Amino acid sequence: MPTKAKAKPEVKKAAPAKKEPVAPKAKKVVVVEPKTPPPAHLFPKKNEKHDYTISEKLKALYELQQIDSKVDKIRIVRGELPMEVKDLEDDIAGLETRVDNYTAEVHQLEESIANKKNSIKDSNAAIKKYTTQQNNVKNNREYESLTKEIEFQNLEIQLSEKRIKEYSAEIVNKKMIIEAARGSFNERKQDLELKKKELDGIVEETQKEEQILMKKSEEAGQIIESRLLTAYKKIRNNARNGLAVVTVQRDSCGGCFNYIPPQQQLDVRQRKKVIVCEHCGRILVDPDIIG
């Protein structure tokens, strides 16, 4: 009988372990805080100016005029010295060139004198030669020819001596001119050194003062509106003394000294509007505006 195959024992599979639920990772939430705008006073708007009164603007204009006048004086003082230094440098260069030219002329004259002396020696040698030949001549024609040569050499000697005297006199005159030029050269050189020291000292002092005044000028200009500031600069450029804002002194304009009518003087004292001189166009202000 056929044998029955043994049935394989059933192996029970272990139930898979239950996975514990994993909590989802919490996402990082970045909180962006809104940026607070900076205070308005730290970043003022461009060309934004406070509404100043006419009196404040006139006062600022007068202060600006005083500052600019001081700057003008500094530049005038500093402007004259460089010109003086330049003139002295030109004088020194001219004197130096003059001395060099006269010295070269003296050397040429001395060379000419030396050449003339050599010419005299040659003429004397020729005369001696012709005199010896005269003793050996055979006819009158040769004798007369040699006599003429001797006369010619004597004339050459006389001419050379005359030129030597002339050249010597010229040398004396030119040496006197050279000595005078050298004296002037030394004086100018000393003056130049003093002027340069003075200029360096003034530039060092005035440069700092000018920078401070220019800064004050910019600060004073911020109070004044652009239209009025432009008019001020235009008047200053046209005025010879650079005065665009002047006070009324003794019923007259402080710039052109013409008479100012009483009504205009009253308007100036009230400081409610900008008053200009009818004659020169300068801006008029009250003398007590600073006080």
* pLDDT tens-digit map of 18-65: 555 544 554 444 444 444 444 444 334 444 446 778 888 888 888 888
Residue 33 vs residues 26, 30, 99, 130, 215: alpha-carbon distances, Å: 21, 9, 85, 127, 41
In what helix (H) or strand (E) does residue 283 lie, and over which residues does it extend? Answer: strand 283-285
CB 181 within 8 A of CB 102: yes
Residue 281 has which token pair? 């166009």
Contact yes or no for 65/239 (Cβ under 8 A):
no
Q: What is the DSSP string of 159-190?
A: HHHHHHHHHHHHHHHHHHHHHHHHHHHHHHHH
Helix (H, G, I), strand (E, B) or coil at 61: helix
Q: Which two tokens stand for residue 161?
A: 């001596």
pLDDT of residue 50: 60
Class of domain 59-223: mainly alpha
Nearest to 172 by CA among 160, 162, 164, 184: 164
Domain edges within the chain: 59-223, 225-291
How is the beta sheet containing 245-249 ordered, strand by strand?
252-253, 245-249, 283-285, 275-276
The model carries a pTM of 0.47
108: Cα within 13 Å, side-chain hemisphere? 8
What was the pLDDT predicted at 158?
93
Pairwise CA distance, residues 92 & 267, whole Å: 59
What pLDDT was estimated at residue 157? 92
Q: Across the strands, what pairs with 247?
A: 285
**Given this model, what pLDDT does residue 166 score?**
94
For residue 48, with 0-12 CB atoms within 10 Å meaning exposed, 13-18 middle and 19 or more buried, which class applies? exposed
Q: Residue 65: exposed, middle, or buried by beta-carbon count in 10 A (0-12, 13-18, 19+)? A: buried
Q: Which residues of the chain have pLDDT under 70?
A: 1-50, 291
